[in-house]
A and B are shown apart, each in its own frame.
Chain A
Amino acid sequence: MQLKVPTLYAALERMTQEGLVAIDGEELVDGRPRRYFRLTSDGTQRLEREVERLEANVAMARERLVQRPALRVRAQFS
């Protein structure tokens, strides 16, 4: 998935307003301003929760994949 620059900046602005990230300075690189962001403590907590949620989804998907052959056999005899 390729994230477009306007989409990225819209997301960063929203997360800044929600206090999940904060601007961490700007500097000129090759004559162009570059802005840096850092995760806030709220952002870190939110990210941890999101990672846990995604891990739970992955675990459930793996579990379903393991069960899949058995389901197919059962379908043949039903």
Chain B
Amino acid sequence: MSNLEEEYRRLLRWYPRAWRDQNEEVVLGTLLDSALARGLTALTVEDSRTIRLAGLRQRAIGSGQRSLVGTLALATGVAFTVFYCAFVSWDPSHTFNGYVGPFTNPSFTIGLLLAISLVLTIRRLTFAAHLVAMLAIAVSVLFGILAWSMGWLGPSLPAVVLFSGFGVCGLSRSNRISRGLLLVSASVCAEFAAVSIDTMRVQSEYVLSPFWQEETTIAVVAVIAAILLAWPWHYRRARDIRSSEHG
């Protein structure tokens, strides 16, 4: 093995393993052919930089495959955030503990992260999308703890579970309806558990502050119904796209 080949192999480690398994030998051969054509016997700084950057970009892309379950969960999470910000946390006329701008709590930042994750998913940057979704989950939990310990108006426990649930479902790599239904079922169970705990904790009719229990239930049921209604359509569309690609 020549020094140049060793150097190229070492640099190609910047790419993810799955990519290397499929492409390393072919790309290495092309790199060596290109170096031979240019009369190179050692790596150039520009070549090294280009390979490193391309490797990092490939890591950001991840599999590059959009997941039906993940995309739909993130889209629903963004829709829920818009609803939450517009009808729950929007109150420019009052100030509360933990308020940010016109919002009664900083939950809109979680929605913003979910939106960024959705855009990255749509652009097939799946690894970066998953990182941002994980950040959304972490921020959601952190805000929940801060809200509980510092007396913020929100996000309440049910809201934290909803935001985190959308983030967790957004990490799914699956295109299968059964996996999606399983995730939705788990989310519903977690949400009802959170609502019950929150109801017991605050001993009042407010569960998704400042929402009443009935309105919260309607909101949760509406989100779940939207997911269930949209699922078959998206599944059929994904299946048609896949069959046209392979046909």
Contacts and interface: CB of A to CB of B under 8 A. Distances in A.
A10 B46 CA distance: 17
A41 B54 CA distance: 28
Which 7 residue pairs are nearest across A and B when measured between Cβ atoms? A32-B29, A6-B54, A4-B50, A35-B26, A33-B25, A5-B31, A33-B26
A26 to B, nearest CB: 7
Interface of B: 23, 25-34, 46-47, 50-51, 53-55, 57-58, 64, 124, 245
Nearest to A40: B245
Contact of B27 (A5, A17, A26, A29): A5
Given A6-B51, A10-B58, A19 B245 contact: yes
A64 B14 CA distance: 47
A34 interface: yes
Which of A4, A6, A9 has the most CB atoms of chain B within a 10 A radius of its CB? A6
A9 B245 contact: no
A7 interface: yes
Contacts of A13: 64
B50 A34 contact: no
Interface in A1-38: 4-10, 13, 17, 19, 26, 29, 32-35
Given A7-B50, A26-B26, 6 more contacts: A6-B54, A9-B54, A10-B54, A10-B58, A33-B25, A34-B26
Contacts of B57: 10
A13 B55 CA distance: 13
Given A5-B34, A33-B25, A34-B26, A17 B64 contact: yes
Nearest to A26: B26
B64 to A, nearest CB: 6
18 contacts: A4-B50, A4-B54, A5-B31, A6-B55, A7-B50, A8-B30, A9-B54, A10-B54, A10-B57, A10-B58, A26-B26, A32-B25, A32-B28, A33-B25, A33-B26, A34-B26, A34-B29, A34-B30
Nearest to A32: B29
